[in-house]
């Protein structure tokens, strides 16, 4: 059992400091020295967190990961959900290092926005190949285009359903938008609204058309991005 204390808790949004501390300490109580590091990542580690709305995402690096590890902490998930803490992402260092080409966007997002609350900052030193990021960004943009066109043929002109579909697609693409800015050699703005403005300027997009969730306008902007991907 480790006795090392938590760190950087004061850097989290005030409303989640206590529940995250309690959750992390319970993880340590149940898994002990098998836990090598615990991170808060995503909006809970940045300026876009919205109390009561945003989920709190936690990643846990363990030395050994098998079904017994999951069983040991499964009972904690229900309590965490009361505080919008999502089921933790359990990883080993080996899994991350061997999966950088499979999940380059996901691990890039964690690297860019996380707080280490226990152990060493493993994610800070990750070297994620840009070619893998670019390929997955292209797959995501062009894949969403296909799904949007197919959805329109399936849904028809129902404005409510189309807007909901666009809204979900837009949310899914936020990490991709950030990585596209990285690929152009710039650091994405931390605030989402400023980041979208930055994206629009870099790729000559109509920001209002991209964000208003109107189906045809959103489709047109993704088509512009798809053409940029061919020369990125």
Q: Given strand 57-62, what is the order of strands in its sheet? A: 89-91, 57-62, 35-41, 114-119
pTM of this structure: 0.89
Neighbours of 208 (CB within 10 A): 11
Domain 9-125 has CATH 3.30.460.10: yes
Buried b (16+ CB within 10 A) or exposed e, 117-148: bbbeebbeeeebeeebbbebbbebbbebbeeb
Task: List, for residues 10-69, the tens digit of each pLDDT value.
Answer: 999 999 999 999 999 999 999 999 999 999 999 999 999 999 899 999 999 999 999 999
Residue spans of the domains in the chain: they are: 9-125, 130-229
């Amino acid at each position: 059992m480790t006795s090392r204390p938590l760190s950087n808790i004061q850097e989290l949004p005030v409303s989640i400091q206590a529940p995250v501390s309690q959750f992390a300490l319970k993880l340590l109580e149940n898994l002990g020295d098998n836990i090598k590091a615990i991170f808060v990542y995503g909006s809970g580690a940045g300026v876009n967190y919205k109390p009561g709305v945003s989920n709190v995402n936690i990643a846990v690096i363990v030395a050994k990961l098998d079904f017994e590890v999951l069983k040991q902490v499964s009972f904690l998930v229900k309590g965490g959900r009361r505080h919008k803490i999502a089921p933790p992402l359990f990883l080993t260092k080996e899994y991350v290092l061997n999966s950088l080409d499979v999940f380059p966007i996901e691990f890039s997002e964690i690297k860019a926005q996380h707080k280490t609350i226990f152990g060493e900052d493993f994610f800070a030193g990750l070297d994620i190949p840009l070619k893998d990021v670019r390929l997955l960004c292209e797959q995501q943009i062009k894949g969403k285009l296909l799904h949007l066109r197919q959805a329109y043929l399936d849904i028809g002109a129902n404005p409510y359903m189309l807007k909901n579909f666009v809204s979900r697609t837009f949310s899914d693409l936020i990490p991709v938008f950030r990585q596209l800015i990285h690929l152009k050699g710039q650091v994405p703005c931390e605030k989402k609204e400023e980041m979208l403005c930055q994206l629009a300027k870099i790729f000559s997009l109509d920001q209002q058309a991209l964000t208003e969730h109107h189906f045809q306008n959103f489709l047109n902007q993704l088509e512009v991005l798809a053409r940029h991907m061919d020369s990125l």
